[in-house]
Amino acid sequence: MRPSRIKSKLRRNQPALVVTLHLLDPSIYELASLLGFDGIWMDLEHHSTSLETAAHLMRAARVGSSDIVARPAKGEFMRMARLLEAGAQAIMYPRCESAEEAADVVRWAKFAPQGHRGIDGANPDGLYCSIPTGPYIRRANHETAVVIQIESPAALEEVEKIASVPGVDVLMLGPGDFSVLAGVPFSFESKVIRGAIDRIAAAAAAAGIHWGTTSPGPEHSGMLIEKGARFICHGADILMVKKGLETIRDLYAPLGFTFEDRIAQMIADTNAAAEALA
User: Per-residue pLDDT averaged across 149-160, rounded?
Assistant: 98
Distance CA 158, CA 98 (A): 6
Helix axes 51-61, 77-85, angle to 10 degrees: 30
User: Per-residue pLDDT averaged across 86-94, rounded?
Assistant: 98
Beta carbons of 230 and 210 less than 8 angstroms apart: yes
Q: Is residue 268 part of a domain?
A: no
The pLDDT value recorded for residue 2 is: 86
Beta carbons of 168 and 148 less than 8 angstroms apart: yes
Q: Is residue 243 part of a domain?
A: no
Distance CA 215, CA 217 (A): 6
Beta carbons of 179 and 192 less than 8 angstroms apart: yes
Backbone angles phi, psi at 217, to 5 degrees: 180, 175
Q: Is residue 245 part of a domain?
A: no
Q: How many domains does the chain have?
A: 1
Q: Report the CATH number that the domain containing residue 94 is assigned in CATH.
A: 3.20.20.60
For residue 278, is pLDDT > 90?
no
Q: Is residue 257 part of a domain?
A: no
pLDDT tens-digit series, residues 102-147:
999 999 999 999 999 999 989 999 999 999 999 999 999 999 999 9
Domain span including residue 147: 5-237
Q: Is residue 140 part of a domain?
A: yes
Model-level pTM? 0.95
Q: Is residue 247 part of a domain?
A: no
For residue 1, is pLDDT > 90?
no
H/E element holding 78?
helix 77-85
Q: Is residue 275 part of a domain?
A: no
User: Per-residue pLDDT averaged across 23-51, rounded?
Assistant: 97
Q: Is residue 278 part of a domain?
A: no
pLDDT tens-digit series, residues 210-252:
999 999 999 999 999 999 999 999 999 999 999 999 999 999 9
For residue 177, is pLDDT > 90?
yes
Q: The dihedral of CA 11, 85, 51, 99: what is its sign? A: negative
